[in-house]
Amino acid sequence: MRLLRLVPDDTKFGFLRIRPIAFAISMVVTLATIAGFLLLGLHVGIDFKGGTLVELQAKQGAANMQQLRARLGTVNVGEVQLQEFGGPSLVLVRYGEQPGGDPGQQAALKRVREVVDADYEVRRTEVVGPTVSSELVQMSVVGLILSILAVLIYLWFRFEWQFALGAMVATIHDITVIVFFYVVTQSDFDITSIASLLTIVGYSLNNTVVIYDRIREMLRKHKKMPIDELLDEAINSTLARTTITHMTTFLALLGLFFFGGEVIRGFTASMLVGVLICTYSSLLIAPSILIYFGLKTGGFGAAAPAPAAASTKVKA
């Protein structure tokens, strides 16, 4: 006997009944993402636009942000962004690409080091040039598109075309919501953001494929059951597994968000949102979209008719 039962075995929640509401919410979020992207844009990090990041630690006590900003204002590197980083003595300094290519970047970094050297220790520096940043953008976009296409092809052969397109729609939906998160919060969108997107793609597809596999199994078993009832039963039969998987993942990410440090906080924040959205899409979007792609009961995976038995003649 299980001591903890999050979802009763006889759960029969009507997920398909609320699909119009779910689709309406997803449409609003998609339109808001497009509008926000056009009006606000993404706060692109140094990885994608070029520039320099310097991590400083105060040699004594807490960092004096006002004094540090005044010092850095004298080195002529353009706009400088300061951010507390994991503790009162740690500061992240960001400034954009400098004229003169790599020599210009190195010269600017040297000037920054000189004005902070008396009171701060330079723990880490990252310099990204324009060539590297443009290549990162191109490779990230190509990698994201190829990963989705590869999954589409795999699901097309593994299931039916309706399942492949349904999984792709749900995956694009999840990516759209994560982009909406970055637009609204104006968090840095950098190479770790691409890593979180790819992780969310895999995570979303994992649960979607589990539900799709149950749907396919039930389509072969129940030839006359209405499609709405069949999809609801398939979702409910995997609900316990879905709940446990997503809850444990969410709790682990929550611990990383609060105690994992500033370096991975942006990654874990987007992953926390991603887990919630993947749960929503795998339960409400991915199965429901199959109806609009014409999936029906009866005839799915039907066995080929048995050949007629050969007639025999009996000679007198």
| Nearest CA-CA partner of 199 in 173, 174, 180, 182 | 174
Per-residue confidence (pLDDT) for residue 314, from 0 to 100? 40
Q: Helices (H) and strands (E) in the chain — how many of each?
A: 11, 6
As to burial, measured by CB atoms within 10 angstroms (0-12 exposed, 13-18 middle, 19+ buried), residue 163 is: buried
| Nearest CA-CA partner of 136 in 52, 51, 47, 199 | 47
Locate tokens 């759209």: which residue? 176
For the chain, how far is it from start to end, CA to CA, in angstroms?
A: 68
Per-residue confidence (pLDDT) for residue 250, from 0 to 100? 92
Which DSSP symbol is given to 15? G
**pLDDT, mean of residues 63-85:** 82
Indicate where the chain has its CATH 1.20.1640.10 domain(s): 15-42+133-292
Cα(181)–Cα(274) distance, integer angstroms:
10
Amino acid identity, residue 3? Answer: L
177: helix, strand or coil: helix
Report CA torsion sign: 224, 229, 234, 237: negative
Q: Tell me which CATH code domain 15-42+133-292 carries.
A: 1.20.1640.10
pTM, to two decimals:
0.75
Q: Which of the listed CATH numbers 3.30.1360.170, 3.40.50.720, 3.30.2020.10, 3.30.70.3400 matches domain 51-128?
A: 3.30.70.3400
**pLDDT, mean of residues 90-100:** 80
Indicate where the chain has its CATH 3.30.70.3400 domain(s): 51-128
Tell me the per-residue pLDDT of 117-151, one tens digit each, with 9 for 90 and over.
Answer: 888 888 888 877 655 566 767 787 787 788 778 87
Tell me the per-residue pLDDT of 99-121, one tens digit each, with 9 for 90 and over.
Answer: 777 777 788 888 888 888 888 88
| pLDDT value at 300 more than 70 | no
Q: Helix H segments across 40-129?
A: 46-49, 65-72, 101-116
Amino acid identity, residue 137? Answer: V
Per-residue confidence (pLDDT) for residue 132, from 0 to 100? 59
Q: Please state the separation of Cα 164 from the chain's center in Å.
A: 19
Q: How large is the C-alpha radius of gyration of the chain? A: 27
Cα(285)–Cα(23) distance, integer angstroms:
7
